[in-house]
Structure 1
Amino acid sequence: MPRPLIGVVLAATGRLAPLGAPLDFVARALSWPVDVLVRDSASTPEGARGAALSLADAGVRVVVTLGGTQTLPAVARACAEREVPCVSTTLPWQVFAAAVGEPGWAFHFSWGLDDIAAVFADLWEHLGPATVVGCLWNDGPQGAALRRWFRPVAEARGHRLVDLPYREHGGQLPDLAGLDVVTSAATASDLAAAVHRARLVTCSRWLTYPFSVARHGLDRVATIVYWTPDRGPDLAAAYEDATGSPWLQPLGVAHALFEVACRAVAGSDSRAGAAEVLTGTRMATLAGVLDWTAGPAPGVARIPLAGGQWRAGDRPELVVVDNRRAPAVPVGGELIYSSAKAYR
């Protein structure tokens, strides 16, 4: 009897390729009770859609994918067209829900932009109860999402957010004088100039990965933490041994994608049956407990975030500095920030 077939859409080429590597490792190097087909999105929404349709035509029972802002929704929408369940992660759930619409065949697990705002506000408040925060947000989808779902949560905590003019990829940074805190979704190269001009910098997006930190010598940038090797030391070690690269946070959620997909196909004999299993799934995974029966939106399961901070070096280290929203993640050190007030 043939084994169930699971499809994987990942970025093997293009600008998102560093994020595709952990999922590729989990799909190809680990042992699963299924057969696996992998397709390259080429880091574009058109490529992602084509990859998903190709997998649907090949007869996969479930498709799994992770990240980016445009590629992930393209996969989910293509799967819905062909009535193939899609399990995805690493995109804030509000962005997923807005882009995919009525979920139906789409099952997503991630954090929200409100969760990022809460964790960042926790970190800012190490400096004081209310701060003026300069926001380096672009005018693209990331900036629009942050203004819509991040800003209200941070401002409700008493912080004043100042939207700074910023053009991504090499635009001149605005004057940061007088700002104790800068928060951003900027690229690492753009943010490098800002880290020495504020007491604390918080950033998500590419600054959650060590290669961005190492390439630009960034230090003390605070970010979100959604997975560490404490949840899977053998997985992290195997990845590092096989690739020669440091573990990445997507490694743990990539493993969880396969855990969920394998349960869905084991408990069904059709695509519709797999979707039914996913709708009622609550299970422990390497990324924590995923519960689609109690999500913040249909088709969504939430995972918690801790606050982390990079310690720069030849091999940057991500240290958990605040775990009040994810107490299962052990704290590894204290938040480091400049004791001096920003220049005014």
Structure 2
Amino acid sequence: MGVVIARTGRLARLGDPLAYAMDLLAPKLRGRLRLVGRDSRSDAGGARRAVRELVEVERARLVLTLAGTEVLPAVADACEEAGVPCLSSTFPWQVYHHGGGRRRWTYHFCWGLDDIAETFADLWEAVGGTRRRVGCLWNDGPQGTWSRHATHGFLPGARARGHRLVDPGGYREPAAALAGHVSAFREAGVDVVTSAATGADLGLFRREAARQGLRPRLVTCSRWLAYPPATVTPAGEAPPPQANVATLVYWTPSHPYRSSIDGMTAAELAEGYERATGNQWLQPLGLAYALFEVATHALATADDPAAPASVAAALGATRLRTMAGPLDWTSGPVPRIATVRLAGGQWQRGRRHPYELVVVDNRRVEGLPAGGELLPLNET
């Protein structure tokens, strides 16, 4: 089994959970599977080279990976060219499915842009009822382009809930200035902002909003804001951009999920990660672990685990309860896709860590306890 992992470059932090899950499971799977990793170097070219090495040198029968916007499609395309099954996650399924070409060998599990819209709309309505005026802080890259897509994106789902979205247009990432966006939001009477910005760009927006006197009641942000703040904020300094920002929640130690391999709970997985790495748990940890569960199941149930077509057929027939929740490729929204459930969360000051992701809306995930109430954005 080949694993394309970002170990260097801007996505290296995303690679940590995948590397940990691989190291954790390799001894347990020894005798059945050999796990081999290659560094994507956080770019498309490195991802394609990693796939070629895994397939041609290591003879991988199946390749696993997590997202980057450029890296994941490159891995999927390289697997298609090689005729080797690929399993991936942490990339909204519409972007993966509609943004790629015709695929036969690649399988994916994740939430959708429509799921993000529903989750965020739940949070918008919690701070003031229906029909909000929502400012869209979207870039001019794939995240922004797909968010505003008229058919497959975030936009139609949010509008269907009766909300008016104010989109001043995309900005180039990293952002140099966002004064125009703030001005447009002020003129439109926006009191809720939604985005898929990086932490740095969100921080720039919040500073400019404070300068112009825009005080939104809530900011919802996906993508990088699913991660905890990268650094601890020294006493007396401004809080990190994530502070009191709401985001999507797809996995936490509180989720009622277990490993299909050995029964480990979500809480035990997070505790082990923090103990081994010294770092705060990350949401992709649960999905990274689930990649290996699904792959192991597919190889075990394939008629011929050495035949690519047999492994692909087994992936397409998979229905499995995993560390990421129940995954079902037999009833996905489109072929070769399984979906992940979302809850609503918010980055609040924590007890064990400076900022912790608190589940504030659990209505869409059965058995997930809420950890707190949704706070106003500027509450300290």
TM-score (norm 1): 0.93
How many angstroms apart in 2 are the aligned matches of 1:60 and 1:339?
A: 50
Q: Residues 326 and 213 from structure 1, CA distance in 2 versus in 1: closer, same or farther, beyond 3 angstroms?
A: farther
How many angstroms apart in 2 are the aligned matches of 1:136 and 1:212?
A: 21
Q: Name the SS for the 1:192 alignment partner.
A: helix
Name 1:46's counterpart in structure 2: 45
Alignment of 1:23-34 (within 5 A): 23-30=18-25, 31-33=27-29, 34=33
* Alignment pair present for 1:141 and 2:180: no
**Match for 1:254 among 279, 288, 292?**
288
Q: Name the SS for the 1:229 alignment partner.
A: coil
* Alignment pair present for 1:171 and 2:203: no
**Match for 1:223 among 242, 247, 252?**
247
Contact 1:214 1:312 in 2 (8 A): no
Q: Residues 49 and 182 from structure 1, CA distance in 2 versus in 1: closer, same or farther, beyond 3 angstroms?
A: same
Query: Partner amino acid for 2:314?
Result: V
How many angstroms apart in 1 are the aligned matches of 2:287 and 2:371?
A: 21
**Match for 1:9 among 4, 12, 15?**
4
Between 172-181 and 299-308, the greater mean CA deviation after superposition:
172-181
TM-score (norm 2): 0.84
Contact 1:208 1:225 in 2 (8 A): yes
Q: Deviations over 1:85-105 (max 9, x none)?
A: 111000000011123333311
Q: Structure 1 segments of 4 or more deviating over 6 A?
A: none
Query: Partner amino acid for 1:101?
Result: G
Q: Name the SS for the 2:78 alignment partner.
A: helix
How many angstroms apart in 2 are the aligned matches of 1:44 and 1:137?
A: 22
Name 2:260's counterpart in structure 1: none
Contact 1:206 1:212 in 2 (8 A): no
Give percent identity, aligned residues only. Answer: 54
Contact 2:348 2:356 in 1 (8 A): yes
How many angstroms apart in 2 are the aligned matches of 1:214 and 1:85?
A: 40
Q: Residues 190 and 27 from structure 1, CA distance in 2 versus in 1: closer, same or farther, beyond 3 angstroms?
A: same
* Alignment pair present for 1:153 and 2:157: yes
C-alpha RMSD of matched pairs (Å): 1.8
Between 288-297 and 271-280, the greater mean CA deviation after superposition:
271-280
User: Offset of 1:189 from its aligned partner?
Assistant: 1.5
Q: Deviations over 1:227-250 (max 9, x none)?
A: 011231111011101110000000
How many angstroms apart in 2 are the aligned matches of 1:17 and 1:338?
A: 29
How many angstroms apart in 1 are the aligned matches of 2:228 and 2:367?
A: 22
User: Offset of 1:29 from its aligned partner?
Assistant: 3.0
Between 310-319 and 276-285, the greater mean CA deviation after superposition:
310-319
Query: Partner amino acid for 2:366?
Result: P
Name 2:119's counterpart in structure 1: 119
Name 1:325's counterpart in structure 2: 364
Count of residue correspondences: 335
Between 171-180 and 314-323, the greater mean CA deviation after superposition:
171-180
How many angstroms apart in 2 are the aligned matches of 1:259 and 1:330?
A: 25
* Structure 1, gaps ≥5 residues long: 1-5
* Alignment pair present for 1:210 and 2:231: no
Query: Partner amino acid for 2:220?
Result: T
Query: Partner amino acid for 1:333?
Result: G
Between 54-63 and 88-97, the greater mean CA deviation after superposition:
54-63
How many angstroms apart in 2 are the aligned matches of 1:236 and 1:338?
A: 27
Contact 1:223 1:308 in 2 (8 A): yes
How many angstroms apart in 2 are the aligned matches of 1:333 and 1:132?
A: 25
Q: Deviations over 1:23-64 (max 9, x none)?
A: 001112333322110001111011111111111112111110
Q: Name the SS for the 1:235 alignment partner.
A: helix
Q: Name the SS for the 1:35 alignment partner.
A: coil
Query: Partner amino acid for 2:36?
Result: L
Q: Name the SS for the 1:117 alignment partner.
A: helix
User: Offset of 1:257 from its aligned partner?
Assistant: 0.1
* Structure 2, gaps ≥5 residues long: 234-238, 258-265
Name 1:3's counterpart in structure 2: none
Between 162-171 and 112-121, the greater mean CA deviation after superposition:
162-171
How many angstroms apart in 2 are the aligned matches of 1:67 and 1:312?
A: 28
Q: Residues 266 and 339 from structure 1, CA distance in 2 versus in 1: closer, same or farther, beyond 3 angstroms?
A: closer
How many angstroms apart in 2 are the aligned matches of 1:20 and 1:338?
A: 30
Contact 1:224 1:307 in 2 (8 A): yes
Q: Name the SS for the 1:167 alignment partner.
A: coil
Q: Name the SS for the 1:88 alignment partner.
A: strand
Q: Residues 339 and 184 from structure 1, CA distance in 2 versus in 1: closer, same or farther, beyond 3 angstroms?
A: closer
User: Offset of 1:336 from its aligned partner?
Assistant: 1.0
Query: Partner amino acid for 1:42?
Result: R
Query: Partner amino acid for 1:32?
Result: K
User: Offset of 1:147 from its aligned partner?
Assistant: 0.3
